[in-house]
C-alpha cells in the first residue's frame, strides 16, 4: 500500500492520510476485513508522529470505515455493516426510540446523526466550551446572582436609554429616507460622511469614500480575512488577543504567530525580526486599551509598527473598539492617536464600533480604509448580507449629529475612570503577594497575573461557587496555553459590587496559595 504525504501542503497530514486511506477503502482496493498497519509501524514508515496516524484512524472510525479490536488491530469494516457510517438517506429527525406515532404504534429505533463526523474541522477546533460554561455561570450563581467580570459588554445600567429613545423617535419621524428604504451596501452616504468627520477629529485623514458601515466591527475582521488571507498565509497578532479574531483567522487556515507583549503592548522591538522571518500578510493589533490586557501602545512603538509594516509591505488591521473610552488627563497621558492617523499610503485598515460606547445591541460598526479596499469588501459583503440594518444606521446618524453621542461618552468615561480607580484600590487592599495587574488608561479591562502555582481555570471553578466569574487567559492566548492570567471587565458589574467581587477573587487566590 503506497501512501505519500505532502509536508508543504496547508492540509494537515492526518487529513491527507485519512483521505488516501478512505479512497482505497471506498474503491475496494482495501477489502472488507483488511488489517491496517499498526499506528507505530505506519508512523515510522511515513516519518510522522504516531499522533498523526491515530488521528487519521480515528477519523476513519468516525466515518464507519474502520473499526478496532482490542489486541488485534484496526480493520476495514463491511460496506453498510454495523460499523459503517449511515448514508444521508438514513439520517432522519432525532427521536427517542419507542415514542408512539400518531396511530399509537411505537416508532422504530432511529439512527441519530453522526455529529462528530458532520461538524466541520473548524467548528470542532473551537475553544468556546469554557466560554459557554462562563456564560451559564454568569446567568446565576447559587443564589441566582453573580458578579460578572467576564462578559465583554457594558453594564446594562450604562446604556443611554433616554438618549436612544429620543434619537429613535427623531430618526423614524424624519422623511429624509423616504423613497430610499434600503441602504447602499457601503452604508448611507450621510452616515459615512459623519463617520469620516469623526475620524478626522481623531487625527485620521478620511473621507466618506474611505468608510463602509458594518454590522459590528467583527464583520469587518471577517470581510478583511476573506479579501486578503489565503490558506497558509501568516498573520501576526499580540500573543494574547481578541479571541473571535483568532477564530476568524483559523477559519481561513491562516498561520497565526503571536508576538510577545509587555506593559506597553506588542513588543515592536521584535517586530522587524518577526516580519523578516515569517513574511506576514497581515498584522492584527489592538494598540489602544487592548483586549484583554488593557495596555496602550505608546507613540514611539506605534511609529515603529507602521514603519516596519510599510517596509515589509504588510497590511495592518487596527481594531479600535475601545478607543473612544479614554479616561483623560490626571496622569493618564495624551489621547492616543490611531495607527491610521500615522500612515497615509493605505497599509492600515481601521475598525471600530458603537457597541462599546452605546449598547452591545446596536450592531453597527465601520471600517476606514483605502477606497480600493472598501470596494473589494463591499463586493464580498454581497455574499454575507446586503447592508447594515437601516434602523441601526438611522439611530447612529442621529447620535452623531450635533455631537449628541459626545456628551454620553464624556459621562461614560468619567464613570469608568471611577470604577477603574475603585477596582485598582480593591486589588491593592486584598491581593495576595505575587498577584499583579495592569492599570488601564481607558477601555474595559484589567489583566491580572496570578501568583505561582495558581491556575486560572482552577481559580475560575472556585470563584463560580462564590458567585463571581471572569475570563481565563487561555481563551485569548494564540497557543491556548496561558494558565497564569485572568481578565476582569471592571465596567460590567454594578459599581457597588466591584469591591466585593474583587475581594472574593483575591480571597480565592489566597486560599489556593495557602
Is 100 part of a structural domain of the chain?
Answer: no
Where is the domain boundary, 362, 389, 406?
Answer: 406
Q: What grid cell was written down for 445? A: 479591562
Is 185 part of a structural domain of the chain?
Answer: yes
**Model-level pTM?**
0.76
How far is the C-alpha of 179 from the C-alpha of 177, rounded, in Å?
6
Whole-angstrom CA distances from 67 to 87, 265, 455 are: 17, 50, 38
From the CB of residue 168, how many other CB atoms can be counted at a distance below 10 Å?
14
Task: Please give the backbone phi and psi of residue 292, each rounded to the nearest 5 degrees, phi first.
Answer: -105, -5
- Average pLDDT for runs of 10 along the chain of length 514: 83 88 84 89 90 90 86 83 42 40 55 67 56 52 74 84 78 62 85 94 94 91 95 95 94 93 94 93 97 96 96 96 84 81 91 86 89 94 79 83 82 92 96 96 96 94 94 93 94 92 97 89
Note whether 369 and 439 are same-domain residues.
no
Where is the domain boundary, 371, 406, 441?
Answer: 406
Encode burial over 313-339: b for 16+ CB neighbours within 10 A, e otherwise. Answer: ebbbbbbbbbbbbbbeeeebeebbbbb
Over residues 210-250, the pLDDT tens digits come to 999 998 889 999 999 999 999 999 999 999 999 999 999 99
pLDDT of residue 24: 85
Cβ distance 308 to 275 under 8 Å? yes
Question: Residue 223 sits in a domain of what CATH number?
Answer: 3.40.640.10
Is 1 part of a structural domain of the chain?
Answer: no
Nearest 5°: the CA angle 256, 238, 460 is 100
Contacts of 390 (CB under 8 A, 6+ apart): 177, 181, 182, 183, 188
Which residue range is the domain that position 174 belongs to? 161-406
Note whether 300 and 397 are same-domain residues.
yes
Is 187 part of a structural domain of the chain?
Answer: yes
Amino acid at each position: 500500500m503506497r501512501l505519500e504525504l505532502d509536508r508543504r501542503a496547508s492540509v494537515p497530514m492526518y487529513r491527507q492520510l485519512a483521505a488516501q486511506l478512505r479512497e482505497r477503502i471506498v474503491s475496494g482496493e482495501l477489502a472488507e476485513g483488511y488489517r491496517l498497519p499498526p499506528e507505530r509501524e505506519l508512523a515510522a514508515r511515513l516519518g510522522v508522529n504516531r499522533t498523526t496516524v491515530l488521528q487519521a484512524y480515528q477519523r476513519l472510525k468516525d466515518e464507519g470505515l474502520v473499526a478496532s479490536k482490542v489486541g488485534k488491530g484496526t480493520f476495514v469494516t463491511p460496506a453498510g455493516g454495523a460499523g459503517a457510517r449511515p448514508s444521508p438517506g438514513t439520517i432522519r429527525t432525532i427521536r427517542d426510540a419507542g415514542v408512539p406515532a400518531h396511530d399509537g404504534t411505537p416508532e422504530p429505533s432511529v439512527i441519530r446523526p453522526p455529529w462528530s463526523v458532520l461538524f466541520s474541522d473548524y467548528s470542532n477546533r473551537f475553544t468556546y466550551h469554557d466560554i459557554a460554561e462562563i456564560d451559564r455561570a454568569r446567568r446565576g450563581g447559587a443564589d441566582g446572582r453573580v458578579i460578572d467580570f467576564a462578559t465583554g459588554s457594558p453594564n446594562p445600567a450604562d446604556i443611554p436609554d433616554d438618549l436612544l429613545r429620543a434619537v429613535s423617535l427623531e430618526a423614524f419621524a424624519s422623511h429624509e429616507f423616504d423613497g430610499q428604504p434600503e441602504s447602499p451596501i457601503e452604508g448611507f452616504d450621510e452616515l459615512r460622511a459623519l463617520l469620516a468627520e469623526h475620524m478626522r477629529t481623531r487625527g485620521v485623514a478620511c473621507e466618506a469614500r474611505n468608510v463602509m458601515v458594518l454590522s459590528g466591527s467583527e464583520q469587518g475582521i471577517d470581510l478583511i480575512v476573506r479579501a486578503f488571507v489565503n490558506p497558509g498565509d501568516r498573520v501576526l497578532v499580540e500573543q494574547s488577543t481578541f479571541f473571535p479574531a483568532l477564530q476568524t483567522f483559523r477559519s481561513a487556515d491562516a498561520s497565526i504567530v503571536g508576538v510577545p507583549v509587555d506593559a506597553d503592548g506588542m513588543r515592536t522591538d521584535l517586530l522587524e525580526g518577526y516580519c523578516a522571518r515569517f513574511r506576514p500578510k497581515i498584522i492584527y493589533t489592538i494598540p489602544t486599551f487592548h483586549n484583554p490586557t488593557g495596555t496602550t501602545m505608546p507613540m514611539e512603538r506605534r511609529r515603529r509598527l507602521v514603519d516596519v509594516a510599510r517596509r515589509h509591505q504588510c497590511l495592518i488591521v487596527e481594531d479600535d473598539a475601545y478607543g473612544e473610552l479614554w479616561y483623560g488627563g490626571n496622569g493618564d497621558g495624551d489621547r492616543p492617536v490611531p495607527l491610521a492617523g500615522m500612515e497615509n499610503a493605505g497599509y492600515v485598515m481601521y475598525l471600530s464600533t458603537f457597541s462599546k460606547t452605546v449598547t452591545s445591541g446596536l450592531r453597527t460598526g465601520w471600517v476606514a480604509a483605502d477606497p480600493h479596499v472598501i470596494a473589494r469588501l463591499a463586493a464580498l459583503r454581497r455574499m454575507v448580507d446586503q447592508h447594515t440594518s437601516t434602523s441601526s444606521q438611522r439611530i447612529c446618524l442621529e447620535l452623531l449629529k450635533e455631537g449628541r453621542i459626545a456628551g454620553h461618552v464624556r459621562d461614560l468615561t468619567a464613570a469608568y475612570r471611577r470604577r477603574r480607580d475603585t477596582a485598582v484600590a480593591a486589588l491593592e487592599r486584598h491581593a495576595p503577594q505575587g498577584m499583579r495587574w495592569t492599570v488601564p488608561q481607558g477601555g474595559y479591562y484589567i489583566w491580572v497575573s496570578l501568583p505561582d502555582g495558581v491556575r486560572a481555570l482552577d481559580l475560575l471553578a472556585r470563584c463560580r461557587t462564590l458567585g463571581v466569574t471572569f475570563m481565563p487567559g487561555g481563551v485569548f492566548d494564540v497557543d491556548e496555553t496561558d494558565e497564569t492570567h485572568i481578565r476582569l471587565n471592571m465596567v460590567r458589574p454594578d459599581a457597588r459590587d466591584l469591591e466585593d467581587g474583587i475581594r472574593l477573587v483575591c480571597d480565592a487566590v489566597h486560599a489556593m496559595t495557602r
